[in-house]
């Protein structure tokens, strides 16, 4: 793992937003199967240019990105996170164009949580910024995006 993509400083920023009970899971089996919301932490280790859809041509520089989503269906958060972590899925959401390029993919589940609340708490931490306005939040009228970049040069 390149030093720039160590999860430790990101974990500190996550704790600033949610407290120490929020911990990253490496596997979907470590998150709850209840309905709620979740955060995916996505490490990109090389520049990524989105190729498809409304955001084609948008560029992501290497680093950590967080995506907040909701999981209300059967299997709850665990089933949704498991889908995100599968390599062979058919792209459906914006984020499906990013996750296949992830060098690391981690998840935090929030039982009974709501994705916009997660975004609001993250955005209260200055080091979480919006790289692509509108990305991942087509269904949301209130958030600038449900996809955030963690800028380690900005002090949490």
Binding site for Zn ion (CB under 5 A): 116, 140, 143
Alpha-carbon dihedral angle through residues 59, 62, 68, 72, given to the nearest 10 degrees: 90
Structure tokens that stand for 12 in this block:
């500190």
Closest approach of Cβ 139 to Zn ion, in Å? 8
Residue number, nearest CB to Zn ion? 143
**d(Cα 117, Cα 134) in Å, to the nearest integer?**
16
Whichever of 135 and 150 has its CB closer to Zn ion, that residue is 135
Closest approach of Cβ 66 to Zn ion, in Å? 13
Whichever of 41 and 119 has its CB closer to Zn ion, that residue is 119
Closest approach of Cβ 149 to Zn ion, in Å? 16
Whichever of 37 and 98 has its CB closer to Zn ion, that residue is 37
Q: Are 69 and 80 in contact (CB under 8 A)?
A: yes
Whichever of 54 and 86 has its CB closer to Zn ion, that residue is 54
Closest approach of Cβ 81 to Zn ion, in Å? 19
Q: Are 35 and 71 in contact (CB under 8 A)?
A: yes
Nearest by Cα to 41 from 15, 76, 59, 79: 15
Residue whose token pair is 């040069």: 153
């Amino acid at each position: 793992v390149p030093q720039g993509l160590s999860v430790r400083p990101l974990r500190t920023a996550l704790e600033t937003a949610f407290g120490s009970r929020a911990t990253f899971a490496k596997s979907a089996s470590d998150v709850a199967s209840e309905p709620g919301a979740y955060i995916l932490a996505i490490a990109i280790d090389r520049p990524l240019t989105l190729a498809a859809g409304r955001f084609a041509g948008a560029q992501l520089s290497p680093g950590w990105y967080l995506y907040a989503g909701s999981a209300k269906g059967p299997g709850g958060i665990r089933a949704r996170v498991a889908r995100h972590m599968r390599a062979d899925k058919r792209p459906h959401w914006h984020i499906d164009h990013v996750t296949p390029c992830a060098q690391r993919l981690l998840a935090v589940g929030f039982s009974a949580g709501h994705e916009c609340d997660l975004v609001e708490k993250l955005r209260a931490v200055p080091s979480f910024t919006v790289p692509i306005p509108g990305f991942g939040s087509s269904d949301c009228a209130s958030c600038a995006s449900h996809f955030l970049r963690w800028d380690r040069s900005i002090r949490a």
